[in-house]
Amino acid sequence: MTISDAPKFRRYAAEERAAMLVQAGLDCLAEGGITAFTVDNVCKRAGASRGLIAHHFGSKDGLLAAVYEAAYAPMLAKIAPETGALALGQLIDTMFDAEAHDLPTLRTWLALWGEIAVNPALKAAHRRNYGQYRAIVEGAIAAHGRSRGLKLDAGPLAASVIALVDGLWLEQCIDPEGFDSQRARTACLGMLEPVLGPLDP
């Protein structure tokens, strides 16, 4: 083998390598759940050495927290776009967007949810992101109430809406063929509209 025939290795920037590890972690969770989220599996998929997880994230738990942040970021960006706050009906539609919540994404969430209660690093990441999520939903509910002259206690309602959405996402994950995004959206509106009035965007 000549020098020109030898494999060429690319040197990645630190940010690129960290992002590759996070993506590998997301892929492992989507395909095999929390039991597939091992250092060996993540490193093999990312083409990285084991020591890079400690270097970039401190530990496997640190990587899992970063994976959780990465899973949350697209949803937060969709429900709080830079163009302005969504109306409540638009928010519900976005939450059940079929492309944003495909089966691999739902499986990833299911794996992460099951780990939050026993993983301090993940619990801290959850509290930060859930706080943003709840504030967005609470703001949409408050705006909806003002626009219709309703006296709404937006805080508790926001927690209830999120719990309802999470439960419907879970049902989609368990039975994706029998309970698709459209059925989940219809079920959500069926629970909310008797209390909040019509939510059509």
Residue pair 28/37 in contact (Cβ under 8 Å)? The answer is yes
User: Is the confidence at residue 117, as pLDDT, over 60?
Assistant: yes
Question: Which pLDDT score, from 0 to 100, does residue 9 have?
Answer: 47
Which residue type, as a one-letter code, is found at position 8? K
Higher pLDDT, 181 or 32: 32
List Cβ neighbours of 126 (8 Å cut-off, separation of 6 or more): 68, 116
**Domain range enclosing 84:** 64-195
Residue type for position 26 = L
Whether this prediction's pTM lies above 0.95 is answered by: no
Location of structure tokens 């739902």: 106
Q: What local confidence, expressed as pLDDT, does residue 12 receive?
A: 66
Between CA 196 and CA 201 the distance in angstroms is 13
- pLDDT tens, position by position, 150-167: 888 999 999 999 999 999
Q: What is the CATH number of the domain that holds 117?
A: 1.10.357.10
Position 2 scores a pLDDT of: 39
Q: Between 185 and 13, name the one with better pLDDT.
A: 185
| Residue 40 pLDDT level (bands cut at 50, 70, 90) | very high
Q: What is the pLDDT of residues 125-143, one digit of tens each?
A: 999 999 999 999 999 999 9
| pLDDT for the residue numbered 100 | 67
Asked if the structure places residue 21 within a domain, the reply is no
Angle, alpha carbons 64-69-72 (nearest 5°): 125
**Does the pLDDT at position 6 exceed 70?**
no
pLDDT at 13: 79
pLDDT (mean) for 81-98: 90
| From 52-61, 72-81, 171-180, the region with the lowest mean pLDDT | 171-180
Share of the chain above pLDDT 70, in %: 93
Is 22's pLDDT higher than 80? yes
CA separation for the pair 128, 122 (Å, rounded): 10
Instruction: Determine, yes or no, domain membership for 56.
Output: no
Report the number of distinct structural domains present in the chain: 1
